[in-house]
Structure formats: structure tokens, C-alpha cells
Copies of this chain bind each other. A is one copy, B any other.
Amino acid sequence: MTAGLTARMRVRRGGFDLDLDVAVAPHQVVALLGPNGAGKSTALQALAGLVPLTDGAVAVGDRRFEDTAGRLRVPAERRGVGMVFQDYLLFPHLTARDNVAFGLRARGVARRTAHAKADAWLERVGLIAYARSRPGALSGGQAQRVALARALVVEPDLLLLDEPLAALDAGTRIEVRAELRHHLADFAGCTVLVTHDPLDAMVLADRIVVVEHGRAVQSGAPSEVARSPRTDYVARLVGLNLLRGKAKGHGVALECGGSFVTRDTVDGSAFVAFSPTAVALHRSRPDGSARNVWHGRVVGLEQHADTVRVQVDGPPPVLADVTTAAVAELDLTPGAPVWVAVKATEVSCYPA
């Protein structure tokens, strides 16, 4: 039986204090979001068994990793976690291939098989040409991709990713993110992801936990958190409309009804993503460059410092960020009919 991760972590570290509960079901991805120094990396290290808990318990299913009450503590190497470190920590004396194969070799996989699997992963992250390079001869982004491959190749029970895409350039990022999503979809274990990029969080995570000063300040499904962010900070960070559908050329037929025109051409199952700020609301049907125009009805409004997040029923249902002035001018109240416009160039479309 593989059941989920349950962690109640309390860690003192110098003057810093982490107090965080995390639960992740199998197959689920939880994203930790939060400002620098919030304790995200510390939480991952505690889960991996690299910093001891001051108090609390960590378990995956019925495998108890740590329990300060029971004085139990399974060492890192027997937890079966895969981890991508924020600063990669690739072994400087091993080639990229040997770095990736390391975890397999540790699990007793024969050299030949391990190398073959490592090469397959290097291929996936686009670095097969660098298989024999040492980390010192890789660029920052290349190193991060190798670190990602190293963690993923072992198919661990618990996957811990600390900003796994931060050093990647825009183009590579899209590819690697899609690759990662694929992998996570097939992945039976639990994943905890730290990222600063809301798109990463929304695309990859099933649940979001916002951490500030070592405490969870909000958590929930991305769409929930996006709909009613509890602070302005969270609102900015977690604003994203994410819709699923079948794509053909520039068009996507959405699962929830309606269709979309996008800039990117994708074929097959796809995600459509755009920011609430990209959604324009109109009283009458607009005649402009926006390729996606439909009629909807306001179902909720949520005021933040300078903006109002408007929840509009569809199909498709979307979130729109507008200024308070616009709310007043358009007379947006729950139940009000509106025209929704989203420019195709504002919409990203990824294969799902």
C-alpha cells in the first residue's frame, strides 16, 4: 500500500522557526509558495531527513519516517525520496551520466542498465550530448536539468523539488515543465514542489500551500486559492486561468464547453492558460483584436488592495482581475451579464 504523505513539522534553525503541516495524497503534487526565507527549503530538507525535526512526525502511508514522540528517525538514505536541491549539488567528480545513474546504482541496478536509463533521462531533458561532461563544464540551466533527471530517474515514493525550473530559459522551461508534468502524471508517489513561478505551481500542482515566516497562511486547490486568495501577495502570485480541452491547430475545444483560439498550435489534449489580468470585461460585444469573446455572468467579486478578482460563469468560467474603477463603471455585481474577451496572444497552450 502506498498512501499519502502526512507531515507535522516543527524545526528550529538558528533564529528561524518552521511550523508546518503538509499532507499529500499519492499521485498528488503539492506546491509550496512563499517569499525568500519563508522556510520552503527547510521544509523539504526536513521531509528528506536532512534536518531533524524539533517536534512532529513524518510518515508516508504506514511507513513512519520520523516521530519525535517515538524517538523514531529513519535516515535519509532509507526514506526513498528523490530530491532536487536549489543549488543542484551535482557530484563534481562524476559525469552527468554518472550523476543521473547514481541513485539507480545505489539501489543495486546493474551499471549497464543504470547507464541506459540515465541516458534516456538525459535525452528527455535535452542533454544527451553532455552525458560525459562534469558538472563544472555545464551551464547553470544544464546543471539544473541534470539535477532534475537525477531525482526523477529513481522513481522515488516521495519527490521533493526545490525550484526545479528556476535556472531554465523561457524556451527550455516550457519543454521541461511539460516533461515534468507528464512524469508527475504517471508518478504514483507524492510530490512536494517549491517554486516562485505561479505558472509552474498552477500547471504542476494539485494543491498549493502558501508559506510565510515558516507558517502556512493559505492552502487549497490552485483554482480555489486563485479564486479567493487571502492576501494581495497570494492573489498576484496565484492568479491563473487554467482550462483543459482538445486542441487542433490554433483552436481548442474546451472540456467545460466553449472553444478557444490560441497563438500556439498544439494537437490533442491540451491546457489553456492565461492570467486573470488578461481577461477584459465588456458591457457590449467588443469588435477588437481579441479572438476569444464570449458571454457570461458575474458570480462573485473579491476585493484586494488595488484590484478586484471577478469570477465569471461561462462557459468557460474564468477569473478576471479588474480595477475598482472598472467594477464601478461596468456596474459589475453578482448576476450581471458581461462580455468576456481574451486576446489569443495572451493565451498559452501546452500539451496536457
- In the complex the two chains form, is A142's CB within 8 Å of B280's CB? no
Any B CB within 8 A of the CB of A257: no
- In the complex the two chains form, is B277's CB within 8 Å of A141's CB? no
Any B CB within 8 A of the CB of A66: no
**What number of copies of this chain does the assembly contain?**
2
- In the complex the two chains form, is B287's CB within 8 Å of A283's CB? yes
- In the complex the two chains form, is A41's CB within 8 Å of B289's CB? no
For chain A, the count of residues having a C-beta within 8 Å of the partner chain is 68
Q: What chain B residues lie within 8 Å of A323 (beta carbons)?
A: 250, 261, 263, 289, 291, 344-345
Q: What chain B residues lie within 8 Å of A36 (beta carbons)?
A: 139-142, 145, 167-169, 172
Q: Which residues of chain A (4-40) have a CB below 8 Å from chain B?
A: 13-14, 34-38, 40
A307-B263, A330-B288 given as contacts; is B169 within 8 A of A277 (CB)? Answer: no
| Cα distance, A281 to B280, chains bound together (Å) | 12
Any B CB within 8 A of the CB of A294: no
Q: Which residues of chain A (180-231) have a CB below 8 Å from chain B?
A: 196, 198
Any B CB within 8 A of the CB of A265: yes
- In the complex the two chains form, is B140's CB within 8 Å of A289's CB? no
Any B CB within 8 A of the CB of A343: yes
Q: Which 8 A-B pairs have the closest CB atoms?
A: A36-B141, A282-B288, A277-B345, A289-B326, A281-B289, A321-B345, A86-B140, A289-B322
List chain A positions with a Cβ less than 8 A from chain B: 13-14, 34-38, 40-41, 86-87, 133, 137-142, 145, 162-163, 166-172, 196, 198, 233, 236-237, 250, 261, 263-265, 276-278, 280-284, 286-291, 306-307, 320-323, 325-326, 329-330, 339, 341, 343-346
